[in-house]
Amino acid sequence: MVESSLKEKNNQKEEEFLCILTLHSLLENPPGDIPETLREAIVKGFVQIFSFVRVQGSGFRVQGSGFRVQGSGFRVQGSGFRVQGSGFRVQGSGFRVQGSGFRVQGSGFRVQGSGFRVQGSGFRVQGSGFRVQGSGFRVQGSGFRVQGSGFRVQGLGFRV
């Protein structure tokens, strides 16, 4: 009974790890022969299949336009996390970003959902038309900077 439970947990960890590796390799080194729309569909499918995805490591980068993350309990852990591009959207509940030196660069950045938390130091947002929609938005840490025009916060329970 205990052995089968441990095997199930190990298999689940292996599947999550393979999913993370595949997702990371697709984003970091996208094949040239796969169109952008198909790549987005693949990433979207991964996130929908694995509703609880973790990305761990330092210097994780996402580059491109119209990148979407959908699902619940999505976590990013590590330092030097950067998102570059336009039309970046995060949809879902319980989205957390943990680490230092988190940067978002681009225009039209939107966060939709409830319970959005940012934890860490040196958080920077650069660009125009930054919007946060939802309830229970919290920012914890030092050195929080917002640069740009058209910054809007909509919702209840906003804390800085």
**Residue 151, pLDDT score:** 73
pLDDT value at residue 123 = 77
Q: How far is it, in rounded angstroms, from Cα 27 to Cα 55?
A: 12
Q: What is the pLDDT of residues 102-136, one digit of tens each?
A: 777 777 777 777 777 777 777 777 777 777 777 77
- The pLDDT of residue 51 is above 50: no
- pLDDT of residue 49 exceeding 50: no
Residues 21-31 pLDDT 10s: 555 555 555 44
**Which one has a higher pLDDT value, 41 or 31?**
41
Domain ranges of the chain: 2-154
